[in-house]
Structures are given as C-alpha cells and as structure tokens.
C-alpha cells in the first residue's frame, strides 16, 4: 500500500500522514494517534527506498571487513546489530582484500561517494591513517574503533590498551618475572603501538632492560602464537612469562609450552587479551588463563550508539571514549620457577 492510498482511506492528505508517522509537531495528537493505529491495522509501511531518496539519508552504516584473522569481527558486528536492530538503520558490510593495501582506501572512497551509507566505522587504525584523512576530507561521518595520532579530528571508541598491558606486565614483574615475552598484533596499528608502550613502560619503571628479541608482531592466529612462543622458548635463558594479544595467540602459546614439556602456570606464565567470546573462554582453559578483558560485543553496541549520536549532530570532538580494561588473574600466572 502506498502513502497515497493509505492517506485516502484515512481521509487525510499524504503530507499529514507522513508528518504524523514521523512525529512532527505540526499534527494534532488525536490525528497522530489515529494514523498510528490505522497504519498498524492496515499494515502500511513507508517504502524505504522512497524515504531514502527523499531524505537523502542512506539509512545504513558501513563496516569494512578484513579478510584474515577476524574472529572478533562477528562479536563486534553482533553488538552493532543488536543496538541498531531497534533503529531503522542497516549495517552494510564490505569486504577488503588485505593483500592490496591500495584497495582499502579505494573501497572507503567508493563507500563514501556511493551514498550507500551515512557513516562508516574504521577498524584497527594506524597512527597516521590514510582512511581517516580521506573520510574527513570527503566529509563522511565516521567512528574509529581504536584511535589515531593523525592531525584530523575523529570520533573514536578505544580500550585502554596501554594501561591494560602495563598492568599485565607490571603484575608479571611483581610476581618476579624478568624475562617477559610479548606477542603483539600487527605492526603499525595504533593498538599494537599502545600495547608496546604499556609493555616497555612497565619494564622501564622497574629498570628491566627492553630486549627486542622477546617481542613479536603479527596476526592473531593460533599458528603465529605457536611459532613465536616456540622460538622464544628456545632461547636461553628462555622467557618465563608471556603477554599475548589474543585468545588465539594464547592457544598457540599453550600449545608451544606443552610441546616443550613446560607447564603453564608454573614454568611459564601467560596473560592474554580476551575479547570475550561465547565459544572460547579464558576461564575454561587449562590452566585457566589470566587475561586483560574487554567485551568486543559491548564495544560494537556502544559504537552503534556513538555513530547515531554523530549522525544526530553531536560534534566529533566530543565523541571520544576510552574504556578501562579489566585484569583478571587466574591460574596461568604464577611466580617464575626458582631455577629461572
């Protein structure tokens, strides 16, 4: 049913009906109520594409999905979708080929120009992120999940990676560890840099020299966790503790330690970052995994909120949110063995 017919049945003009449904003040309460009732009775729904054309709004926000190791992606999306489910806003997913770094910037460009989204979310930014510069230049509203040092105003939601890793590392030092390895995320991403900084600062605060041979960067996969952990553990003296970037990395570290006959929580301590997944929990690992924790799903939900705020006019400079990260100690952390 079209607006025209519907309005006719009500004995009103299309204008009034439209205003009534959109909650404009120029229509009397009585009329509004009648319109709302009849609409649900007769099942009238405005044609979404006509609305979008007329308003110039796309009614969607864009999310760019990387190709590799994005297991936290569905959690973030879940949160996003959860929050947006009640609004009339869609989520538009675009894929990006990780291997072609040029392609990504083009993709954002297309996304912005195409008018299919009202805003986009940028993930895993870099300190000087081209995408942010581009979106700002194009005037497309966007929220950064993470942060950037770039000299361009941008709204962001980030977790306190630096503080989390500083605390985790400090805790390991408190326990007596001196050789602490760090398996971090992809080089060049802001969150990796922040984590690096937290790690270094914690060491420095206790006068422990930084050893580049104990730090590795890479995607959050079980395989890299294993390979890096393995190569670190083959050094002499070997590290007595690990700080790791993800649950998958932690799985790899557990595996590596086990493959070398080392007992986690006694000979090797591990703290990893946990994004909180329903299908793999730090608490259930054996031994249970000490973790810095922050819910990816919650971040997704909040991101949706913030984007909506941006779209309804809240100034970019106001939208900065830094979330604290919990440190949860479990069995995988303990003082180093006597002989280490």
Residues that bind DNA (CB under 7 A): 1-4, 11-16, 18-19, 21-22, 26-31, 45-47, 50-51, 53-56
| Residue 95 interacting entry, from a copy of itself, DNA, none, C-beta within 5 to 8 Å by type | a copy of itself
CB of 187 to a copy of itself, least distance (A): 18
Find all residues with CB under 8 Å of 178, minimum gap 6, and list them: 208, 240, 336
Residue with smaller CB distance to a copy of itself, 67 or 206: 67
Shorter beta-carbon distance to a copy of itself: residue 172 or 229? 229
What is the spatial distance between Cα 232 and Cα 266, in angstroms, rounded to a whole number?
Answer: 17
- Binding footprint of a copy of itself on the chain (CB under 8 A): 43, 45, 47-50, 52-53, 58, 60, 65, 67-71, 73-74, 77-78, 81-82, 84-85, 90-95, 113-116, 219-223, 226, 248, 251-252, 255, 258-259, 277-281, 284-286
Q: How many CA atoms lie within 13 A of 326 on its CB side?
A: 11
> Distance between CA 159 and CA 323 in Å, rounded?
4
CA distances in angstroms from 282 to 161, 220, 223, 288, listed in the order given: 18, 16, 18, 6
Given the complex with DNA, which of 21 and 296 has the nearer CB atom?
Answer: 21
Question: In the bound complex, what is the minimum distance in angstroms from residue 208's beta carbon to a copy of itself?
Answer: 31
Distance in Å, CB of 27 to DNA, minimum: 4
How many angstroms separate the CA atoms of 52 and 285, rounded? 49
Q: Dihedral sign, CA of 280, 83, 88, 139?
A: negative
Please identify, using beta-carbon distances, which residue of 55 and 204 lies nearer to DNA. 55
Residue 71 near which of DNA, a copy of itself, none (CB within 5-8 Å, type-dependent):
a copy of itself
Helix residue ranges, H only, the chain: 3-10, 14-22, 29-42, 48-55, 73-84, 101-114, 130-138, 161-174, 190-205, 222-233, 247-259, 296-311
277 binds, among DNA, a copy of itself, none (CB under 5 to 8 A by kind): a copy of itself
- Gap between the Cα atoms of 217 and 30, Å rounded: 64
Instruction: For a copy of itself, give the closer residue by CB, 173 or 285.
Output: 285
User: From a copy of itself, DNA, none, which one binds at residue 248 (CB under 5 to 8 Å depending on kind)?
Assistant: a copy of itself
């Amino acid at each position: 049913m079209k607006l025209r017919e519907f309005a006719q049945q009500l004995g009103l003009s299309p204008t009034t009906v439209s205003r009534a449904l959109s909650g404009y003040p120029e229509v009397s309460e009585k009329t509004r109520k009648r319109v709302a009732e009849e609409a649900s009775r007769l099942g009238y729904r405005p044609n979404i594409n006509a609305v979008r054309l007329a308003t110039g709004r796309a009614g969607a926000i864009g999310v760019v999905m990387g190709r590799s190791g994005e297991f936290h992606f569905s959690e973030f999306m879940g949160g996003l979708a959860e929050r947006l489910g009640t609004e009339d806003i869609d989520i538009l997913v675009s894929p990006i080929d990780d291997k072609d770094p040029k392609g990504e910037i083009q993709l954002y460009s297309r996304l912005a120009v195409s008018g299919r989204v009202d805003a986009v979310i940028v993930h895993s930014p870099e300190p000087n992120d081209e995408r942010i510069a581009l979106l700002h230049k194009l005037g497309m509203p966007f929220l950064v999940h993470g942060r950037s040092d770039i000299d361009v105003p941008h709204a962001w939601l980030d977790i306190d990676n630096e503080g989390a890793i500083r605390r985790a590392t400090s805790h390991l030092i408190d326990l007596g560890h001196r050789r602490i390895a760090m398996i971090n995320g992809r080089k060049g991403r802001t969150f990796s840099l922040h984590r690096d900084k937290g790690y270094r600062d914690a060491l420095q605060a206790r006068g422990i020299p930084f050893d580049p041979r104990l730090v590795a960067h890479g995607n959050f996969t079980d395989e890299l966790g294993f390979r890096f952990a393995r190569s670190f553990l083959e050094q002499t003296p070997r590290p007595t503790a690990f700080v790791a970037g993800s649950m998958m990395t932690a799985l790899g570290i557990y595996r590596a330690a086990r493959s070398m006959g080392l007992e986690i929580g006694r000979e090797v301590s591990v703290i990893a970052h946990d994004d909180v997944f329903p299908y793999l929990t730090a608490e259930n690992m054996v031994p249970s995994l000490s973790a810095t924790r922050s819910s990816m799903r919650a971040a997704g939900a909040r991101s949706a909120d913030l984007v909506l705020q941006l779209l309804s006019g809240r100034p970019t400079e106001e939208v900065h949110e830094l979330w604290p990260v919990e440190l949860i100690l479990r069995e995988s952390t303990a003082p180093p063995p006597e002989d280490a």
